[in-house]
Structure 1
C-alpha cells in the first residue's frame, strides 16, 4: 500500500507538469525539463548567496553544497532503485531530484533572507 501511494503521488505530481504527456518517455522528458528548470533556479540562488557571504563562509557553503549534491543524488538513486529495470525508474529519480532541489532552494533562500536583513 505504501509503495502504491508513493508511486501514485509521484505520477500525479509529474503528470501535472504536462497534461499532454501520454507515454512513459514523454513523462520522463517532461520530468527532466522540470528538474532542469529547478536546478537552474538553485544555481541562481546559490550564486546570489555566495555574493553576500564572507570569505570563510563561502568555503563552508561550497563544501556544504558539494556534500548536499552527493546526498541528493544518492538519496534519489535509493528512491528509484525499487523500480530498477522499469520504464518508470527515470521518472521516479527525476521527480525526487526536483523535490530535493526545491527543498535546497528554500534552505538557501532562507539563509539569503537572513543575511540581507
Structure 2
C-alpha cells in the first residue's frame, strides 16, 4: 500500500475509535441515542444467552419449555408496551430513542437477573421451574 493512502485512512481510524469510546462522555443527542441503543443490544445479548441456557436445562421437560416460551413472548410484549408508555411524553422528539432504549435496557436487565436466579436453582427446589445441574 502506498504511504499516502495509509495517512489518508489514519483520521478515519481515530475517529471511529474515539466515537466508539465516547459513550461515557457523550454530549450530543445523536451519540447518546446511539450509546443507549448499544447498551440495550448488550443487555439483550446477555438475556438471549441466559434464555438458551434455560432452554437447554428444560430439554427433557417440553411442557415447561413451552411455558417459558409463552412467558418470554408475553414479557417482551409487556416490556415494549411499558416502554412505549413510559416514553410517550417525548414521542417524536430527538430524546425519544434515548428514553425508550433506557427503559427497555432497564427492564431487560431485570429479566436477566430473573433468569440468573432460575439458573441458580438447586436440585430438589420445588419452587423453581428450572432444574439444577
TM-score range, shorter chain: 0.7 to 0.9
- Which of 36, 53, 67 is the matching residue for 1:60? 67
Q: Which runs of 5+ in 1 are unaligned?
A: 1-16
- 68-77 or 103-112: bigger deviation: 103-112
Listed one character per residue, the Cα deviations across residues 69-88 of structure 1 (whole Å, up to 9, x for unaligned) are 00000000001101122211
Q: Which runs of 5+ in 2 are unaligned?
A: 1-21, 122-130
Q: Distance in 2 between matches of 1:106 and 1:60?
A: 19
TM-score, with structure 2 as normaliser: 0.72
Contact 2:23 2:31 in 1 (8 A): no
Residues 1:18 and 2:33 aligned together: no
CA apart distance, 1:61: 0.1
Contact 2:33 2:98 in 1 (8 A): yes
Residues 1:78 and 2:85 aligned together: yes
Q: Distance in 2 between matches of 1:112 and 1:19?
A: 32
**Which residue does the alignment assign to 1:89?**
96
CA apart distance, 1:45: 0.1
Larger helix proportion of the pair: 1
Structure showing greater relative contact order (alpha-carbon pairs closer than 8 Å, 6 or more residues apart): 1
CA apart distance, 1:18: 2.1
TM-score, with structure 1 as normaliser: 0.82
- 85-94 or 17-26: bigger deviation: 17-26
Residues 1:29 and 2:45 aligned together: no
Q: Distance in 2 between matches of 1:100 and 1:56?
A: 26
Residues 1:103 and 2:119 aligned together: no
